[in-house]
Copies of this chain bind each other. A is one copy, B any other.
Amino acid sequence: MAYSSKLIEQAITEVAKLPGIGKKSALRIVLHLLKQEPIETNMLARGLEELRENIKYCTVCYNISDDDVCAICSSHKRDDTLICVVEDIRDVMAIENTEQYFGRYHVLGGIISPIDGIGPEELNIESLVSRIDGNNAIEEIIVALPSTMEGDTTAFYLTKKLQNSNVKITGIARGVPVGSELEYTDEVTLGRSILNRTQL
The residues of B that contact A1 with a CB separation of less than 8 Å are 93, 97
For residue A53, CB closer than 8 A to chain B, the reply is yes
In contact, A4 and B47 (Cβ under 8 angstroms): no
Report if A190 contacts B (CB, 8 A).
no
Cβ of A8 < 8 Å from any Cβ of B?
yes
Residues of B near A56 (CB, < 8 A) are: 5
Chain B residues with Cβ under 8 A from A149's Cβ? none
B13 touches A71 (CB 8 A): no
A182 lies within 8 A of chain B by Cβ = no
With A3-B93, A15-B44, A96-B2 in contact, is A51–B8 under 8 Å at CB?
yes
Q: What's the minimum C-beta distance from A1 to chain B, rounded to whole angstroms?
A: 6
Chain B contacts for A27, CB-based, 8 A? 90, 93
Within 8 A of B (CB), among A50-100: 50-56, 58, 63-66, 70-72, 88-90, 92-93, 96-97
A10 touches B47 (CB 8 A): yes
Within A2-24, which residues are at the interface with B (CB < 8 Å)?
2-8, 10-11, 13-15, 17-21
Whether A34 pairs with B14 at a CB distance below 8 angstroms is no
Q: Which residues of B contact A90 (CB under 8 A)?
A: 27-28, 31
Q: Say yes or no: B40 contacts A29, CB within 8 Å.
A: no
Is A45 engaged at the interface, CB distance under 8 Å to the other chain?
yes
Is A30's beta carbon under 8 Å from chain B? yes
Q: Which one of A10, A47, A55 has the highest number of Cβ atoms from chain B below 10 Å of its Cβ?
A: A47
Q: Does A42 contact B (CB under 8 A)?
A: yes
Q: State whether the Cβ of A126 lies closer than 8 Å to any Cβ in chain B.
A: no
